[in-house]
Structure 1
Amino acid sequence: MKVLLISLVVIAAIAFLSTWIGQKLRARKGEIEEEPEVAEPMEECCGAHEICETDILNKMSEEIIYYEDEELDVYKNFEENDYNDDQIDEFREVLYSLKEKEIAGWMRSLELRKIELPSAIKSEVVFMLVK
């Protein structure tokens, strides 16, 4: 068992050293350029993403649109971790009744109504928006 463990450590060390030495040699030859500085994120959307475009369009409107979810108004000013399982299911029920195109608008509606999504639902919404 010790021999196997020592062998794995030695193999890992050899791999690390060979990679490190290879990078140093390529850097000397000029094959590797220095990494460019990371630009700070733009305050405005670049417009290249469907989500950004939808978000910009929704933010232009200050009109609250209800998606047959008036019952969620009772959760105004709740924190994302304050919800119990039944309350989370209420949000989930509304979310899964929406069409894909309506999700971004629903998110904007909740934002205008000062209703924060439960943390358990946020990842589901992001997944639905990205796919």
Structure 2
Amino acid sequence: MIILVIAIVLLGLVTYYFHLRDQKKQAAAGNPPAQDETPAPPQECCGQHLVCERDSLLAGVSKTIEYYDDEELDDWKNTPADQYTPEQVEHFRDIFYTLLPSDVPGWVRSLQLRQIEVPESLRDEILLVVNEQRNIDK
């Protein structure tokens, strides 16, 4: 057992030595050592992150703002999502539940273009409807 552990450690040391030697040879030849590349982000949104949802909702969409009988929400432009009063959250919720499910992605785009943040307590419900609409549209 001890011999096996010693053999594995020696194999690791030899591998490390040759790796360092190769890097030194590349540097001497004028080639910089290869950098570890970070993987590119996935091409499609997984739907699990709000930032990903926000970016995918705005991607390739017209910058024309469409209102959904919610002009009064413009009063809350640039209000942080965690700063809404319970009454304001209820107002958002009332508007959200009067929308057709197919209108929810457009409504969210409209809010984003108008720089109106959705209250945090309502985000999960909205993302659920948006994801359902994506699955229907596929």
When normalised by structure 1's length, the TM-score is 0.58
Of 47, 57, 74, 1:55 maps to: 57
Residue 65 of structure 1 deviates from its aligned partner by 0.2
SS in 1 for 2:128: helix
Contact 1:55 1:104 in 2 (8 A): yes
SS in 2 for 1:60: coil
- Could you tell me how far apart the structure 1 residues matched to 2:57 and 2:79 are? 23
CA RMSD, Structure 1 to Structure 2 (Å): 2.7
Look up the equivalent residue of 1:80 and give its one-letter code.
Answer: A
Q: How does 1:51-90 map to 2 (within 5 A)?
A: 55=57, 59-90=60-91
Q: After superposition, what is the alpha-carbon deviation per residue over 1:53-108, rounded to whole angstroms, capped at 9, x for unaligned?
A: x836x742000000000111110000010001100001001100111111000001
Partner of 1:41: 41
Structure 1, unaligned runs of 5 or more: 1-37
- Could you tell me how far apart the structure 2 residues matched to 1:60 and 1:129 are? 15
- Could you tell me how far apart the structure 2 residues matched to 1:55 and 1:81 are? 21
Percent of pairs with identical residues: 35
Partner of 1:9: none
Structure 2, unaligned runs of 5 or more: 1-37, 46-52, 133-138
Partner of 2:94: 93
- Could you tell me how far apart the structure 1 residues matched to 2:60 and 2:72 are? 23
- Could you tell me how far apart the structure 2 residues matched to 1:109 and 1:59 are? 14
